[in-house]
Structure 1
Amino acid sequence: MDRDLFERRLTVVLVVVGALLLALAVRLWQIQILQGEYFLRLAEENRIRITSIVAPRGLIKDRHGRPLILNRAAFTVYLLPTELRDSAQVIPEVARKLGMTPAEVNDKLAVAAQERPFDPVLLRRDIPKEAIAALEENRMDLPGVLVQVEPVRDYLHGALAAHLLGYLGEVDDRALATLRGQGYEAGELIGKDGVERIYDRYLKGRNGQIQAEVDAQGRPLRQLAKIPPSPGNTVTLGIDLDVQQAAEDALGSRVGAVVAMDPNDGTIVALVSHPAFNPNLFATGITVPAWTKLLRDPLQPLLDRATQGGYPMGSVFKIVTATAALELGVVQPGTRFFCPGFYTLGNRVFHDHEAHGSLNFLEGIAQSCNVVFWTLARPVGPDALARYAKMYGLGQTTGIDLVQESAGIVPDPDWKLRVWKEAWYPGDTLNSAVGQGFMLATPIQVARLVAAVANGGRLVTPHIVTEITSPDGQALLRVAPPPARTIHVYPQTLAILQAGLVAVVTHGTAASIQMPGLAVAGKTGTAENPHGRPHAWFAGYAPVKDPQLVVVALVENVGYGAEFAAPIVQRVLQVAFGLPTPGAGRPLPAPPAPLPSAVPGEAHP
């Protein structure tokens, strides 16, 4: 009996021991086979640390080699999850010294743990020296904290050319899934807008690595290997810093845009949009409050008004109407008109800005007489107006090397029926002929249109970048101007248009901007705005006999183009051609008090 009891007990013990041995074997198999790589890497990282050396992004320079964007050295703080011994103590202390909350640090660790459990977790960039000193003083009590010196983008002129240059943002996990094979790493800053985005693959450098032996507290003992980083390439723009600064200063605090472009090949010499933003806000990762403020600003500082803002063109569109009328044989330079200051269409009266009396077609362009163009609108017709507008590139993107360009709107009867479910009325034709109604264009489109008149009928493609060179100065890519498209008009049509635009400045609506030593041609425009004061336009080029620069200025909600936009173009041309700028120290005219809403059918030069 005792023997049977002993054998049963022995059997139970053997079964339990066997089960324990089996469980231990399964666990060892799990550790060695299933999780062997994990624990091997964990053990190696307790002894060897591999960290990235962030490569500097490439420089961006103006056409004369003057830097617009450089890099500066700054401190960046990371947490190493595999070396974080006492998170309950370390995280609150690190958060306090970095001006963060423990919750923010834990959120970053949690996100990284899902996708990148072994990678350093970036906490903050561009840390002040005082905070770094406090971390270093307590290094023994803060295992897992890594301080690196890394390059940070430095936009030397603040908000100058912000929309053109663009800004950086941290690569998200979705983008990283496709970009990791191209050398991008978690937490890395990439171009999000402007030149920084379009040419990111050239500007991005190749990160290096350091392999170091560390002690139990994570302190480096010796360097085992190092792969140096390779800086990004230098991108040279067609921008002239002096002209850009002149355009920025001339526009001042007004809301609007300025574009300066070479009419012969489309190279952008200046591009301004106000209000703007400071790209340095994004250089180290923009804070949520700062980003929210930009998004909620009613003046939309992130909007590039030069390429994305759609505006009625006002009288600048008369260049298109004049082209259509000349090409169709509706008018000749000497054709005479009588302007009583209004035009009657049925029981509706369209008011001009003044009674011009008797004048010919060229005088009508010079004085921006609406009655002349309302008279031409009816025989020309809405379809021809739309056709010639599209010939000049309106209603379509220009192809400039920036993101999210607006195409604008070129209306015709089919468009109105499709979009508004309404018929086209004769009054719509009159409005279109003077750049009112449904017509919308961007300043860059207007610059392209005027360039086509100035250069003899070639529709150029605006472009910003001219050359890309390696860090040691070797040319990698010379960006050839995109081929121009020829517009099909008679040479005499262009000659008449050019004469009309010259007359605008010699004795027309823009006579006040004449400059000794520089012959200028152009067109004023005052686009009625149902939400307030009119938008002011001036689009011009110089010199008249050998056009080298087209300049377009748009100012929102101020009044007449001759008063508010033309002086901006004048100052830009003065700087571009090295002329005296006697009025540079004086502010341009301030907008007058608000006016009542625009009167339907009323337009100005």
Structure 2
Amino acid sequence: MTVIQPYSGGRQTTPRTVGRNYQSVIVMLIVSLFLVGAMGSRLAYLQLVQGERNRQLAENNRIRLVPKQPVRGNIFDRKGKVLASSRLSHSVFLWPVALKKDEWPQTRQRLSQLLDLPEDEIQKRVERAGFDSPSLIRIERGLSPAQITALQEYSHQLDGIEVDIEAVRDYPNGDVGAHVLGYTGELNDQELGQRRAEGYRMGDVAGKMGVEEAFEPTLRGEWGGQQVEVDGAGRVLRILGEKEAKSGKDLQITLDLKTQKAAEAALGNQKGAIVALDPRNGAVLAMVSRPTFDPNIFSSRITPDMWKQLQGKGNPFVNRAMRGFPPASTFKVVTQTAGMESGKFGPGTVLPTFAALNVGGTSFGEWNRAGFGPLGYQQAMAWSSNTFHGQIGKGVGGPTLIKWARNYGFGQPTGIELSEEAAGLIADDTWKRERFNWEWTVGDTVNMSIGQGFTQATPLQVAVMFAVPANGGYRVKPHLHKDNEALSNWRVSMEMKPSTIETLRKGLRAVVDGGTGQVLNVPHLPPVAGKSGTAEAPPGKPHAWFGAFAPFDKPEIVVVAFAEHSGGGGGSVAAPMVKQVLEAYFDAKSPDEAKEK
């Protein structure tokens, strides 16, 4: 009997080979189970642990936040002429979540080349926003036509980069009123950190100086924007939500553009300042400082070379109208007030004058080196006698002179809205002991009486001082916000005797009528009153001052001109500047100008 064996494929089955045919199947099964388990664990991790994050990333790749910066409010002068507005400009924006990380270095390098912007600055901006940010972030403002064209040409290499139009600040008069208006600029990291609680965000532009800074809450407006769905190519599929940006409010200030331009022209390139204000309520009509700058440059990026060139002009961002300098003989208004109000030197006082006044071993010389003989208040003011006023200061004493200086507002901010204002300095015994460990002397008082020594006053403070005799004895608070508040809210009575005010006014008129300010005694201007000053300012040349008000009978404008280290006298250097401003204000033309017309 023949037994048929099962076919074994040519292999013999022995006790040693039983089950080996299933080993490979078992191994494959185990590996498959391991892989499926690993994949399942990974899926579970992605869905359960990181599910929310991954969904957010996917959503960010589909949803874009397009912020809309508000249009800043306009600034107008007192007659409605535009001082600051907005214009449209091209900016380049970057969408971080759309960036391909492996291509980012190439994109960053290309942007750097096209925009002439350092790569590290671009990198910092992206890192600040975060690579997964769905919001557009601004990389550069004020693109030139050449830059716009170049970005379009290389758009295929610039995923996540867009060029759009936005409103930027525009100052149609260039550098006119620059120190008053200030400028705007994008907040840096430190500023942004300090102002996040106020609702500021990355890329925000804010006022950095002057009116722009002082009235930031009024001018700023509120952000708006859109939430849009986009496809893989970045095309907008639909708008999911929208909030209209709210424009900032317009602001009218007290500056008079015509007077401001006249003051700018009068100062020219002379380092210094000119201030004009209404003595009745303190409204600032003009404020000029030199050197200056054009605030329009801040509507685009400032390169290091541009910044170096600006600083080379000599601190152009310092508003010299609100910085302290020795007021020289303009301060004699305070000295005469102290003399009469103290009761020690009445309005009828006559004092001898000398070539020099010797006090405590120090000689205080008369500017003409000879003296003027016996003088009363009016003649002493007209000829600016140092020895006359030195005797008044010595007679009333330091505390009384200091008291009246502070009553006039010296040594303290005037209260104008601008943050750049300095307080100036009215020193006293305590101040001197703290700094020099030495007591106040009679010589210090005499020095103060002629506006020298430690005394520092700003041109704005000097203008406030001249407003007192101009308006009949009130100290005004200079301001830039134009409104219709009552005069009582802008000024306070100095409680001076009528005879003191009358004597001061007559003396200031005598300065122009026959003293050191005769350049202003011209028929085409209404009667002017004023005072010159020439301040010693070692190691440089002397400073020149002149302050004036007009019309004498019913003053409506005070003008103070200050020429830093001009080297000339107040009557010869600063007074002609004041004259030029008054001619523009009163629309009065000199005979020579009339002939030219």
TM-score (norm 1): 0.88
CA distance in 2 between partners of 1:332 and 1:407 (Å): 31
Q: Does 1:499 align with 2:515?
A: no
Structure-2 change in CA distance of 1:480 and 1:274 (3 Å): farther
Find the aligned partners of 2:86 and 2:259 in 1 and give their Cα distance.
24
Whole-angstrom CA distance in 1 between matches of 2:422 and 2:470: 24
Partner of 1:327: 341
SS of residue paired to 1:282: helix
Q: Which amino acid aligns with 1:343?
A: L
- The residue correspondences of 1:534-549 to structure 2 (distance < 5 A) are 534-549=542-557
Aligned residue number for residue 460 of structure 2: 444
Alignment of structure 1 residues 169-180 onto 2, 5 Å? 169-176=185-192, 179-180=195-196
Distance 1:106 1:100 in 2: 11
Q: How does 1:312-323 map to 2 (within 5 A)?
A: 312-323=326-337
Deviations along 1:332-376, one digit per CA (max 9) or x if unpaired, are 344323323222235432211113223322211111011111122
One-letter amino acid of the structure 2 residue matched with residue 169 of structure 1: G
Report if aligned partners of 1:316, 1:539 keep a CA contact under 8 Å in 2.
yes
2:572 to 563, 566, 573: 563
Verify the 8 A CA contact 1:571 1:581 in the aligned structure 2.
no
Match of 2:75 among 41, 45, 60: 60
SS in 1 for 2:162: strand
The 5-angstrom pairing of residues 91-106 of structure 1 reads 91-106=108-123
Which residue pairs with 1:131 in the alignment? 147
* Structure 1 residue 514 displacement after superposition: 1.1
Q: Which whole-Å CA distance do the structure 1 matches of 2:547 and 2:393 have between them?
A: 22
1:136-163 deviations in whole A, cap 9, x for unaligned?
A: 2343332201111001111111111111
Alignment of 1:381-396 (within 5 A): 381-396=397-412
1:392 deviates by: 0.7
Question: 1 CA distance for matches of 2:188 and 2:112?
Answer: 23
Instruction: String of CA shifts for 1:238-261, please: whole Å, max 9, x gaps.
Output: 111010000010000001011100
Is contact 2:280–2:467 with CA below 8 Å preserved after alignment? yes
Aligned partner of 1:571: which letter?
Q
Q: How does 1:504-519 map to 2 (within 5 A)?
A: 504-516=511-523, 517-519=525-527
Q: 1:233-272 maps to which residues of 2 (within 5 A)?
A: 233-272=249-288
Cα deviation for residue 497 of structure 1 reads 0.7
How far apart are residue 16 of structure 1 and its match? 7.7
Q: How many residues align?
A: 568
Q: How many percent identity over aligned positions?
A: 38
Higher alpha-carbon Rg: 2
Q: Are residues 88 and 415 of structure 1, via their aligned partners in 2, closer, same or farther at CA, if it must alter by over 3 Å?
A: closer
Tell me the secondary structure at the aligned position of residue 222 of structure 2.
coil
Q: What is the match of residue 113 of structure 1? A: 130
**Deviation digits for residues 415-471 of structure 1, max 9, x if unmatched?**
21122211222221211110000000111111111111211111111000215xxxx
Secondary structure of residue in 2 paired with 1:69: strand
Task: Give the secondary-structure state (helix, strand or coil) at the position aligned to 2:536.
Answer: strand
Which of 569, 578, 581 aligns to 1:572? It is: 581
* Structure 1 position 46, deviation (Å): 3.1
Q: Which secondary structure state, in structure 2, belongs to the residue aligned with residue 357 of structure 1?
A: coil
TM-superposed CA distance for 1:179, in Å, is: 4.3
Distance 1:582 1:56, change over 3 A: farther
> How many Å apart are 1:51 and its aligned residue?
0.8
Which residue of the partner structure matches residue 422 of structure 1? 438
Aligned residue in 2 for 1:76? 91
Which amino acid in the other structure matches residue 325 of structure 1?
G
Deviation at 1:102, TM superposition (A): 3.2
Partner residue of 2:4? none
Instruction: Tell me how far apart the structure 1 counterparts of residues 507 and 192 of structure 2 sit (CA, whole Å).
Output: 55
Listed as ranges, the matches of 1:333-352 within 5 Å are 333-352=347-366
How far apart are 1:298 and its partner, in Å?
6.9
Q: Aligned pair in 2 of structure 1 residues 303, 16: CA closer, same or farther (>3 Å)?
A: same
Q: Which residue of 2 aligns with 1:277?
A: 293
- SS of 2:141's equivalent in the other structure is strand
Structure 1: which amino acid aligns with 2:495?
A: H
The yes-or-no answer on 1:375 pairing with 2:383 is no
**Residues 379 and 358 (structure 1), Cα distance of their counterparts in 2 relative to 1, 3 Å cut:** closer
How far did 1:537 drift?
0.7
Segment drifting more, 431-440 vs 132-141? 132-141
What code does the residue aligned with 2:121 have? E
Alpha-carbon distance in 1 for matches of 2:464, 2:409 = 8
Q: CA distance change for structure 1 residues 83 and 346 in 2, over 3 Å: closer, same or farther?
A: closer
Deviating more after overlay: 236-245 vs 99-108: 99-108
Inter-CA distance 483–347: structure 2 relative to 1 (3 Å threshold)? closer
Distance apart, 1:96 and its partner CA: 2.0
SS at match of 1:126: coil
Structure 2: unaligned runs, 5 residues or longer = 1-15
Q: Is the 8 A contact 1:332 1:361 kept in 2?
A: no
Against the structure 1 CA distance between its residues 110 and 289, is the aligned structure 2 distance closer, same or farther, given a 3 Å change threshold? Answer: farther
Q: 1:337 to 1:182 in 2, by over 3 A?
A: closer
**Aligned partner of 2:174 among 158, 163, 184:** 158
Matched with 2:165 is: 149
Query: What residue is the counterpart of 1:598 in the other structure?
Result: none
Contact 1:170–1:285 (8 Å) recurs in 2 = no
Whether contact under 8 Å (1:237, 1:466) holds in the other structure is yes
Determine whether 1:453 maps to 2:469: yes
Amino acid at match of 1:98: L
* Rounded Cα–Cα distance in structure 2 between residues aligned with 1:372 and 1:178: 54
Secondary structure of the corresponding residue to residue 146 of structure 1: strand
| Structure 2 partner of 1:592 | none
Deviation at 1:293, TM superposition (A): 4.4
Which whole-Å CA distance do the structure 2 matches of 1:432 and 1:137 have between them?
Answer: 69
Q: Which amino acid aligns with 1:102?
A: E
Decide whether aligned partners of structure 1 residues 20 and 230 sit closer, same or farther in structure 2, where only a CA change above 3 A counts.
closer
Structure 1: segments with no counterpart, 5+ residues: 468-477, 586-605
RMSD (Å) for aligned C-alpha atoms: 2.7
